[in-house]
Every structure is written in structure tokens, then in C-alpha cells.
Structure 1
Amino acid sequence: MSATNCQTQEFKLSPENHEFVVPKKAIKSPDEMIAWQKSEAYFEYLGFILAINESIKGKFLNSETPSSQIVEQFLKMLNKLDEWITQIPPVEQPQRFGNQAFRTWHSKLHDLAFEELKQVLPQELHRAILEIVEYLLEGFGNPTRIDYGTGHEMAFIMFLCCMFKIGAFKAEDKVAVALKLFQRYLEIVRRLQLTYRMEPAGSHGVWSLDDYQFVPFVWGSAQLVGHPRIEPQHFVDHGVVETFAKQYMFLGCIEFISKVKTGPFAEHSNQLWNVSAVSTWSKVNSGLIRMYKAEVLSKFPVIQHVLFGSLFSINEAPEGANCRIEQLGPPSAGPRRM
């Protein structure tokens, strides 16, 4: 189907009549990955990533961004989660990584998340909590392994998408959700990683983009598209990073990496070093989207943990879903190499 025949369809849901379910894992073996890549969930999720990507181009983190009351309420909830880290300090233990106090923190999240969401959402949306809370719980790491990675990041982004699907967040909240809520989430998971010495989940070491995150590099590069002064080559400049890290998500990621890793940047973050040689942020952005599809969305070790329910369905997507994704994608997302 050609792009001219595709129509972007908005997800419409009636919370009063919709049958919410507790989401479950559905991809049990690598052979089932094709079902994921053809599923409604795949196209809904990727479409959300691209829609946010487009909405924040040229916008910086501390710009004036209008947001709804529910966005502000959820921001207060995230602040509570941050306070819990202060209240639950790491314990003395023999092993260096994986501090067991994280299990206490996550247990508190597990016990209180449902009630916390009831404080955020209007009563008519409380029926949805049994489904969306599972994505929230998955979004902060695994309490058994005490690790965190791109699969957990993905779960939290699915939670944000669910909030749009049930009508809690409105279309005009897209920028605030990315630049306020997702940024606050990043601050919290970074603090969790440092405080409880969490292991990277499925890290490929120096050959991965980052030990823990991926999407903030995508959305962060979108923020920098068309920037009059900062070019991709500048993000390896410590002075540029220090000056602009609080304005651009991408540079905030570089600042965090530089704090937790030692040695030459080209050695401990080789993939990112290669990205700095790309000529424009538009090319960086489209290249990272392709890399995300290949290195995260196409990997069984990540997708085996994805939860499927009524909001993210494993059912095969209708014809034309891929065209709608292409409509939402960046104009420069062609077959060229990054």
C-alpha cells in the first residue's frame, strides 16, 4: 500500500465499556518474533516513539511547555518514587553490584503503585489500572536480578502510551510527556542505577549505544535537529555537554556516561563516538531509529519480556499499519547508513 493511501488512525477507547486485562508475556521463543513484528503492539509502540520524536524536534527540556493536570499529578508521583530512594539507602553487603535494598524499593513500588495511580487518574479511568500498572512496575528494573536495561525503558514508554490510549493524557500533552515526565523518569532510573549499583540488563559493553538506555538518544537527537550551533561532532566536547546537558536529553545522556565511565570516550563508548562523525542531527535521528528497530525491537532477549493485553495486543496488525508508521517517521529516514 502506498503512503498516499495510508491514513493515520487514532486509537479510540471507551473506558467505561472497554474490557481491561492483566497483560501477559506472549513471545516464548525466537520463532515467535515474527508474530511480534506483525502485531498491533509493535506498530502502536513504534508509532508512539515516532510521534513523540516528531513533536519535540527543536524543543529543549526547560522550555515553557503547557501540560494537563494529570501530567502534573503523575510528575508528583514520580517525585515520590525519587523520595523513596532517599528513604531506602543501600545496605552493607559483600558483593559490589546489585544492592539488595533495591528489592525493598521495588517492593514498595509494587505495594503502592495501584493506589498511587488512583490518586493520579480520575475515577472513571480506575478500571484501567489493573492493566497499565504492570507496565509501570516493569519500567524500573528487575528486583530479582537487580538489573535495568532497554526492555525496562520500553515498558515505561508503553505505560506512557497506555496513558494516551485510555484518554488520561491528551494529544496536546505529547511534548510535556517527553520533556517533563520521561526526563524525570530518566533522572530516577539513573539514581536507582547509581544508588543500588544495578547491573545493565543485556549490555553489549563497548559495542552497545549505552549500558542502560536507548530512547533518550533518539528523542534527544530529535530535539537537536536544526540546532544553529550544536552539531553531532560537538557532543564529545566536555564544555558543550556541561553547558547544554540540562537543555537537551541527548547531551544529558552523554554527561551521565562521562560521570560513570572512565578513560577515553572513544574507547568506553565506541558506538557513540562513531555517531559523532555523522554530519547532521537529522541523519543521527533517522539512523538511531533504524538502530533501535534492529538492536532492541528485533531482539528476542528484550521482546520475550514484553507484556501484551488489550492496549498492546499481540493480534496481527491490519493492512496499512506499516504505512502509517512511515507517515509518522522522519522525512530523512531512508535506506542510507548512519
Structure 2
Amino acid sequence: MAEAEQQSGSTPEDEAAEVTFMEPQKEIRMVPDMGKWKRSQAYADYMGFVLTLNEALKGKKLGCEYKVSETVEKLLDLLETLDRWINETPPVDQPSRFGNKAYRTWYGKLDQEAEALVSAVIPADKCAAAAEIATYLKESVGNPTRIDYGTGHEAAFAAFLCCLCKVGALKGDDRLAIVFKVFNRYLTVMRKLQRTYRMEPAGSQGVWGLDDFQFLPFIWGSSQFVDHPTLEPRHFIDERVVNEHHHDYMFLDCIKFINEMKTGPFAEHSNQLWNISAVPSWSKVNQGLVRMYKAECLEKFPVIQHFKFGSLLSIQPVTP
């Protein structure tokens, strides 16, 4: 894993140089196929990408200074477009409370425009990769049939960002901006989608899951707190602390969203997070969440059966 972490962390620009781009396909069709996924180059690259960002964020506030490249600005423009389309596509009147069908109209716009949106972000000499990378963007916003959203969709957005690193659009010194600017903006757009169209949680474990919709911001957000002089895990269940510090820390921003969306005692509606608040240190929380992410998301067939593999994130086994 250390090798994979190094490999993806270096955001290689030359990896995509001799690649024939392709439309990503599903490859995990049955439970026994999960072994192929865990041995694949895609798994090594994806996990390496997540862990490299996790390392880069340690002890950093959202408001700290970091480079914002032209590609990052273009990605923020892309997400601004998705946000604007929500405003232009209000919910429709319908008998069922959840899963507003206007979401399908919104999704239809993205389906039509995704390739053009990606083309505007990637280098001109990598324009052949636009269709492949656009697949992950389309997968990252929820499912138009079920009108739901979950950690598999979130993983598709991380895969989208990983692919942008592989074609050289994002580079090593973009690491902080990838999470603090781009991923954070993605979160606000997803929350707006979830609220506006009353999207169902995809594959939610209810009270036994970490969160109805997200996982990565808890990993990366806990990394921000490592070695914090005063704030400990026990503090995140204190609403005053959350309201005071959520602008600086992704983890607390997620807790704030949960507090706004759910009623009743925190220990009842978010039991897993309540348990995590008893862990003595943020570094232990961070390590535990990485293990939990692998076990509860990346090693679960209902999540990974939807993941798509192409030339950039390949189902081929890792070369020894």
C-alpha cells in the first residue's frame, strides 16, 4: 500500500501519455469478483490517492494558505454550474415526499454536458480522456433511477479527481486545494441536491452507519485535527464547539449538517459517531476511520458493484 500511496501521491503526468482511453465499464458483477477489485490497479491508485491527501491535510485548517491553480479554479466553475442548474430546476409537486422527480431533469443536463464540462478542465493534449473522466463525474452525483445518493457516488467523485491527477490536470502542489476547495465545494452542492430533491440515502445502514451520505470528509476532517492543542474527539458532540469551529474543520461541518437534518439525541440518531467521540486521540480516530472506510465501503459488494473501470482506473491486477 505504501508503494501505491507513493505512486498516486506523486500525481504522475506521464502515466496517461501512452494510454488508449476508453469508456469505463462495470467489472464487479458477483461477490467473488470483489477479489479482482482488491487486487486491481484501480484499488491501489484510489486508496493511495485518498491516503496521500489524508497525509497532506494533517493539522491544517480550511482557511490556511495554499496554492489555487487554474485547474482548481476551473473545477470550482464546473461545480458552480451544477449548483446553478439546481436553482434552474425547482422541485415538482408530487405525491411522494422523497425522491423528487425534478432531480432527473437536473441529472439530464449533466448527462448531456458532462464531457464538455470535463474538456474545459483538462489539458488540450489530453482531450481524448474527456469522455472517460466524465463518466466518474456523472456517477458522482447520485442515481437518477432511484434518486438516491451514497458513499459509492462520493467515491466516484474522488475517482474523478484521481483521474484528473493521472492526466496531469491536477498536480502534487494542488493537494490541499483538491480537498479544501474542490471537494468541499462538491459537498455543498451534494447537500443542496439532497435537500432540494429529498434524495434517499443509498444503501444506508441507518443508525449503524457513520453518516447517511458521506464518508471521506470524516477521514480527511479528522486528519485536520491531528495534534490539535485543545480540541479533542469528545468535543465534536458539543453543539457550541461545532458552531464555533465548523468553518475551519470539515469534520465539524459534517456534524453541523447532521444536527440540522436530524432531530433527537445525537447518541440515538448518530450512534457510530457518538462512539467515535470516546476515542482518546484524533490520530486514532483517523486510523480507525480509514479501516472502517475500507471495510464498510470499499469492501462491500453493494457499493463496489457500481464502480466503473477504464484505462485510468484499471481492473488489471497491480504489477508486482
Letter in 2 for 1:254: I
Bigger shift: residues 108-117 or 132-141: 108-117
Residue in 2 that maps onto 1:166: 167
Q: Relative to structure 1, is the Cα distance of residues 6 and 56 closer, same or farther in structure 2, using a 3 angstrom cutoff? A: closer
Counterpart mapping for 1:285-296 below 5 A: 285-296=286-297
Q: Relative to structure 1, is the Cα distance of residues 300 and 133 closer, same or farther in structure 2, using a 3 angstrom cutoff? A: same
1:15 and 1:127 in contact (8 A); partners too? no
- Count of aligned pairs: 317
Counterpart mapping for 1:272-283 below 5 A: 272-283=273-284
Shift of 1:13: 2.8
Please list every run of at least 4 consecutive aligned residues from structure 1 whose deviation after the TM superposition is greater than 3 angstroms: 5-12, 14-17
Letter in 1 for 2:6: T
2:5 and 2:51 in contact (8 A); partners too? no
RMSD between superposed Cα atoms in Å: 1.6
Q: How many Å separate the matches in 2 of 1:158 and 1:6?
A: 15
2:122 and 2:164 in contact (8 A); partners too? no
Residue in 2 that maps onto 1:208: 209
Shift of 1:122: 2.8
Q: Relative to structure 1, is the Cα distance of residues 25 and 6 closer, same or farther in structure 2, using a 3 angstrom cutoff? A: closer
Q: How many Å separate the matches in 2 of 1:288 and 1:117?
A: 31
Q: Deviations over 1:278-304 (max 9, x none)?
A: 001000000000000100011000010
2:41 and 2:315 in contact (8 A); partners too? yes
1:16 and 1:124 in contact (8 A); partners too? no
1:146 aligns with 2:147: yes
Q: How many Å separate the matches in 2 of 1:283 and 1:156?
A: 26
2:309 and 2:315 in contact (8 A); partners too? yes
Q: Deviations over 1:246-276 (max 9, x none)?
A: 1100000000000000000000000000000
Bigger shift: residues 73-82 or 147-156: 73-82
1:176 aligns with 2:177: yes
Shift of 1:12: 4.9
1:68 aligns with 2:66: no
Counterpart mapping for 1:93-172 below 5 A: 93-172=94-173
Shift of 1:313: 0.7
Shift of 1:15: 4.8
Shift of 1:180: 0.4
1:146 and 1:198 in contact (8 A); partners too? yes
User: TM-score with structure 1 length normalisation?
Assistant: 0.91
Counterpart mapping for 1:167-316 below 5 A: 167-316=168-317
User: TM-score with structure 2 length normalisation?
Assistant: 0.96
Residue in 1 that maps onto 2:6: 8
Residue in 2 that maps onto 1:77: 78
Shift of 1:80: 1.2
Q: Relative to structure 1, is the Cα distance of residues 67 and 107 closer, same or farther in structure 2, using a 3 angstrom cutoff? A: same
Q: How many Å separate the matches in 2 of 1:314 and 1:91?
A: 40
Letter in 1 for 2:70: Q
Q: How many Å separate the matches in 1 of 2:230 and 2:167?
A: 40
Aligned to 2:298, what secondary structure does the other structure show?
coil
Letter in 1 for 2:222: S
Percent of aligned positions with the same letter in both sequences?
A: 55
Q: How many Å separate the matches in 2 of 1:125 and 1:313?
A: 18
Residue in 2 that maps onto 1:327: none
Shift of 1:218: 0.2
